[in-house]
Amino acid sequence: MIRRVGAIVWMLAVVAAVAWLGVRLASGVTLESNILALLPRQERDASVQRASDRLANSLSQRFGFLVGSRSPEKAIAAAHLLTSALKQSGTVTAFNSTVDQDAQKKMGAAYFPYRSGLLSQADRADLKAGHGEALKDRALASLYGVGGMADSRLMARDPFFLLPNYMLSLPASQTRLAVNGDVLTVADGGITYVLVSGDLAGAPYALDFQKAFHKIVADSETRMKTVAPDLTLIRTGAVFYAHDAANEALDETTVIGVASLIGTMALILIVFGGIRPIMLDALAIGAGILCAFLGTLTIFGQVHVLSLLFGVSLIGISVDYSLQYFCEYFDPGAPDSITRLKRVLPGLAIGLATTLIGYCTLLLAPFPGLKQVATFSVIGLSVSCFTVMLCYPLFDRHRPYQPGNRFVRIAATHWSLWEAKGKAAVGLRVVVILALVVMTAGGIAKFQTDDDVHHFQSLSPTLKQQESEFARLTGTPAGTQFLLLRAANEEALLQKEERLDATLTRLKHSGAIADFTSVAQFVPSQERQTENRSLVRDKLFAPYLAGYLADIGYDSAPDYPNPNSFLTPGKLPNAGPFALIKLLDVTGSGEAAHVLLLGDVRDAAAVKAAIAGTSDVRFVSLADDWSALFATYRQYAIGLLALSVALMFPLLAFRYGLLRAMRVLAPSLLAVVIAPLIAALTGVPFTFFNAMALILVLSVGVDYSVFCAETSGERKPVTTLAIALAALGTILAFGMLALSRVFAVHAFGMTMLIGIFIAWLFAPAAGANARRK
Amino acid sequence: MFRQSDIFVAMIVGLLGFAPASLAAPAAPQTMSAGDVLRGQFVQTRQLQGFAKPLKSEGSFVLVPGRGLIWHSEKPFDNTAIITAGGILQLAKGREAMRLSASKLPGLAQLYNVLSAALSGNTGPLQQTFTVTQTSGNDGWKVELKPLDSGKQAMSQIKRLVLTGTRYVDAVEVERTGGDVDRIAFSGHKVAKADLTPGEVAQLKAAAK
């Protein structure tokens, strides 16, 4: 009676949870697809983290199109179409591809009051070298030049036209693009490309936003083709990769989920030959996954697609509990549901406990994404297992099978492989072990680690190709490499940047970097402004102004004041190229810090060597940083693996005694050691993701040994059938992951596939002589 | 500042150094075909506010459709400006004094297109920026350009442009909003087939790169 009440309460709780999940799903769910969201937010000093975050965020918000056609007019018309569609959709906050005449004016207005302290590098060099006359000649040329490059209004306020020259020397972002009306264009191979680029209004990794953005782009593309039938559309930006990745992951989740569900169901149908086991199985799995989804959503507020992907493969593990139960059908000694449950209960409890230990160590990993995977799995597996324990006896009316079932007979050979004393069995054992030794040896030779973040997230080759085409056409290589400068205050930072200028210019000439952009290029330090003012006064105005004015017959005194204050970055408006300054300023928590962007670093070693002598300057490469983190956490995962073993061992020792506990652990440990080596043989390098898979191999593999250790005599073949079905189910789920195009998922799947196979193969060997204490 | 309007004036002066058929009709239409080179003399007088006397310069020009304009001032001192779609190069006493690439000059490529279109008889793009008024009499033709409201932003410094001529453009007058007036008179027009000197070819190349 109590049993019945318990089962009904449990069922009602599950139904309530599923209903609530329905309500949550109806109100919309955010699926996260950025693999970098898996990364921890520590282990780095705060300003590097802040700079990286700001830059990575801002870079991921960017998008760019090149709209190409043989006819420039059609390309421009198509580009306008795209721009206005994006503008109307509200998915874009700002365009940086439209030439903002207003921005030019605002820039000029901001600089104008401080013009006496602003000199281009070339003018500064000329004045320092005493070549003031060259500047005078240039001013004359401007005055007398074709169409009159200079007019009287400028003449009255900047007689040597120094400010226009300073502004022309500012870094230009898109080097190959030319201004054409209100758009930027580049012609290449007979095709005119128009740039449409800007910042997204939403998070590029949010699925809803991706969908909305993608739809607008697709609709616009159709309409653009009516304007320009020969349209070439080149796109770049995290949002496209993310969309591609999310699509991929979702497709894979669906395929893998459906395939492993169908496979598992088919397996049960074939072996148990009835519809009721399938229904019960679906109940346990469904309750587990739905509750896990709800729990993850409630705790984290969103679900990462990777959690979903790994979570769906839970089907393969949670089915183990049902299988243990169903296999009791083959045991004539367990005629009714209560006896069946009593028999499997110890195995289920220890199996669940060891598996949860494995997943709980994942919770300890400081990776937000993995915490989700662990949470998802812990909830899902617990709910599945409890459903088996509480509900199965209620619904199970199955009669035991007659002895001598052919599946049981086949499964029995698995046990005899490790127990039989006959020559054939011994020979087979030797062959199996030799084969493993040979493969392991081959694996050792090919074993290598890989932490390169590029490999982990590389997805669509088409997008990659478009990105490099975009970089080539616009002359703006997307760089995630920069120098991080720190100092006591902003002025000290600007001075530091000015001192680095010569070094960086040298690196640019030697080809180590393509370009660099610093705040000081837009706002000289006060020290530099003071120096410039005296250079202009002493080396230009004093010796040349009077003669120059006399030459041209200018009879009033030009107004070229030295104001009391200086230009500082805070005084510049957020217009045109100045918007960059906000991005570069990463000052925070009582410390001034600037980012100095490096364009297309070809020789990182040369850059590091060149800045070695300057204090408080660091070379930061986001991709390298991420790779280094993956390396650290690969080692961390190995630590977790050891921790898992350490946590499982007392539990096993408590039940089986020290020696037998070691025996129960041995097959899984063997799998953990050999699986990466055999995977290496198939060309899979050892990454953080393989290490994480090993934690699961351990916890799932121990289950098999535990089930074998919990069985004896007559029931041995029944147990081997159960673990064979369990391993097959797990392989059906994770073997599918090995087919994934996503490198991380593939590596994870391969390791699981091989590891689970080995753990299964050796499981009876562990249980053979292990008797309960 | 080197405003778009300044460049525009430079371009218009240069490229309309002869009268395009569409603008000059009905008086003696004169168009150039590919490979033609137009040479001539100029006298430029700039009346700038605050200057006691106008700034006067003289020299010669070479116009090569599709490639650019070489503007060589000889008096009061030697100075050459080479204007191409790719950028502007200024030589003072034969030495490079200033270089501006098209990427730094808002509008250069567009203006090039507008004016090239005008030269080939398509005044559509031109009329998006200016109101174009044409008159013609016995002594030649006159074209007046006034910035449209829509083109004001780019042409904020220009009040009025007047071109007069017979077969070719003989004079250009540019009035600016600030009160400055530039006048350029052309003479000795001569059209020839591909007679660029190697020096001129090199100059055009250097400016375009």
pLDDT tens sequence across B51-82: 888 888 899 988 887 778 888 888 888 888 88
- Higher-pLDDT residue of B7 and A301 is A301
**Mean pLDDT value across residues A607-620:** 85
Last residue of a domain, one of A335, A368, A403: A403
Compute the nearest-CA separation of A60 from chain B (Å).
Answer: 26
Mean pLDDT, range A409-425, rounded to an integer: 79
Task: Assess whether A428 and A393 both reside in one domain.
Answer: no
> What is the C-alpha separation between A687 and A706, in angstroms, rounded?
29
User: How many secondary structure helices (H) and strands (E) does chain B include?
Assistant: 5, 11
Same domain, A378 and A419: no
First to last CA, chain A: 33
What percent of chain A stands above pLDDT 90?
Answer: 10
Greater confidence, A164 or A318? A164
Is A397 in the same domain as A416? no
> Phi/psi of residue A712, each to 5°?
-165, 160
pLDDT computed for residue B22 by the predictor: 41
- Helix (H) / strand (E) containing A515: strand A515-517
Is A148's CB within 8 Å of B46's CB? yes
Place of tokens 């002598």: A613
Nearest to A144 among B69, B76, B157 (CB): B76
Q: Which CATH number describes the domain made up of B4-208?
A: 2.50.20.10
Residues A349 and A413 in one domain: no
Residue A671 lies in a domain: yes
Tell me which chain B residues have a C-beta less than 8 angstroms from the C-beta of A172.
103-104
CA of B138: how far to CAs of A220, B19, B26, in Å? Answer: 54, 16, 11
Residue A769 lies in a domain: yes
From residue A297, alpha-carbon distances to A245, A284, A493 in Å are: 21, 20, 44
Please tell me if residue B97 touches chain A, with a CB cutoff of 8 Å: yes
B113 at the A interface (CB within 8 A)?
yes
Mutate to test the interface with A, among B48, B105, B157 (most CBs of A within 10 A): B48
Nearest CB partner across the interface for A179, out of B48, B93, B105? B105
A185 belongs to a structural domain: no
Q: Reply yes or no on whether the pLDDT at B162 is more than 80.
A: yes
Facing residue for B109 by CB, picked from A101, A167, A179: A179
CA A552 to chain B, closest CA, distance in angstroms equals 7
pLDDT tens digits, one per residue of A446-502: 887 777 666 665 556 677 777 777 777 776 555 567 888 888 889 999 999 999 988
Tell whether A368 and A414 lie within a shared domain: no
Cβ pair A144:B98 closer than 8 A: no
Same-domain status, A349 and A327: yes
Q: Which among A108, A155, A168 has CB closest to B50? A: A155
* Residue A689 is assigned to a structural domain of this protein: yes
Domain CATH code at residue A722? 1.20.1640.10
Q: Which residues of A touch B (CB under 8 A)?
A: 72, 99, 101-102, 104, 108, 134, 137-138, 140-141, 143-156, 163-165, 167-168, 172, 174-181, 185, 552-556
Tens of pLDDT, residues A253-306: 677 777 777 887 788 888 877 788 888 888 888 888 888 888 888 888 877 776
Minimal Cα distance from A98: which residue of B?
A: B106
Of B9, B50, B90, the CB nearest to A554: B50
Closest to A741 measured CA to CA, from A428, A433, A461, A468: A461
Strands A31-32 and A303-304: parallel
Which residues span the domain enclosing A419?
Answer: 406-446+657-773
Structure tokens at A262: 């169908």
pLDDT in tens, A535-584: 999 999 999 999 999 888 888 888 888 888 999 988 888 776 777 777 78
Partner residue opposite A144 with nearest CB, options B1, B55, B179: B55
Co-location of A435 and A397 in the same domain:
no
Task: Say yes or no: B110 contacts chain A, CB-CB below 8 A.
Answer: yes
Q: What is the average per-residue pLDDT within A154-158?
A: 86
Specify whether the CB–CB gap between A598 and A509 falls below 8 A.
Answer: no
Residues A728 and A767 in one domain: yes
Does B45 reach chain A within 8 Å, measured CB to CB?
Answer: no
- For residue B51, give the nearest of A99, A152, A172 by CB distance: A152
Cα separation, B205 vs B173, in Å, equals: 30
pLDDT of residue A40: 60
Chain A CB contacts of B109 below 8 Å: 178-180, 185
- The mean predicted confidence, pLDDT, of chain B is 73
* Separation between Cα atoms, residue A737 and residue A248, nearest integer Å: 12
How many angstroms away from the CA of B29 is the closest CA of chain A? 25
Domain boundary among A379, A403, A427: A403
d(CA A159, CA B6): 17
Residue of B nearest to A140 (CA): B77
Would an 8 Å CB–CB cutoff place B35 in contact with chain A?
no
Calpha distance B205→B203 (Å, rounded): 5
Between residues A227 and A368, the one the model is more confident about: A227
Query: Are A374 and A297 part of one and the same domain?
Result: yes
| Residues of chain A found within 8 Å of residue B48, distances taken between Cβ atoms | 143, 148, 151-152, 155
Q: Which two tokens stand for residue B69?
A: 């304009």
Instruction: Kindly state whether B94 is in contact with chain A, defined as any CB-CB distance less than 8 angstroms.
Output: no
**Beta carbons of B113 and A180 less than 8 Å apart:** yes
Closest-CA distance of chain A to residue B66, Å: 15
Task: Classify residue A732 as exposed, middle or buried by CB count within 10 Å of its CB (0-12, 13-18, 19+).
Answer: buried
Q: What is the pLDDT of residue A315?
A: 64
| A156 vs A659: CA distance, rounded Å | 97
pLDDT value for A494: 93
Q: Do B13 and A146 touch (CB under 8 A)?
A: yes
**A389 neighbors A320 (Cβ within 8 angstroms):** no
Give CA–CA dist A311/A257, Å, rounded: 9
- Cα distances from A175 to residues A98, A471, A577, B89, in angstroms, run 15, 11, 13, 17
Q: Distance, in angstroms, between B206 CA and closest chain A CA?
A: 17
In terms of pLDDT, which residue wins out, A537 or B142? A537
Checking if the pLDDT of A78 tops 80, the result is yes
Cis status of the peptide bond prior to B26, with omega within 30 of 0: yes
Answer with the one of A380, A403, A426 that is the final residue of a domain.
A403
Q: Which of A308, A267, A305 is nearest to A290 (CA)?
A: A308
Nearest chain B Cα distance for residue A546, angstroms: 14
In a domain, A442, yes or no: yes
Give domain status of residue A229, yes or no.
Answer: no
For the cut 50, the answer to whether the pLDDT of residue A349 exceeds it is: yes
Q: Using a CB-CB distance cutoff of 8 angstroms, which residues of chain A are in contact with residue B69?
A: 146
Whether B202 has its CB under 8 Å from any CB of chain A: the answer is no
Label residue A35 by pLDDT band (50, 70, 90). low
**Which of these ranges, A55-69, A380-394, B27-41, has the smallest mean pLDDT?**
B27-41
B13 touching A (Cβ < 8 Å): yes
Provide the domain count of chain A. Answer: 2
How far CA A174 is from CA of A137, A460, A471, in Å, comes to 31, 25, 10
User: Is B40 in the A-facing interface, judged by CB distances under 8 Å?
Assistant: no
DSSP label at residue A544: I
- Establish whether this prediction's ipTM goes over 0.95: no
Do residues A370 and A437 share a domain? no
- Please indicate whether, in this complex, the C-beta atoms of A168 and B81 are within 8 angstroms of each other: no
Query: Is there a single domain that holds both residue A754 and residue A676?
Result: yes
Mean pLDDT for all residues in chain A:
81
Interface touch A155/B44, C-beta < 8 Å: no
Domain membership of residue A171 (yes or no) is no
> CA–CA distance from B191 to each of A55, B38, B167 (Å)?
57, 4, 12
B107: pLDDT confidence band, cut at 50, 70 and 90?
low
> Do residue A423 and residue A358 come from a single domain?
no
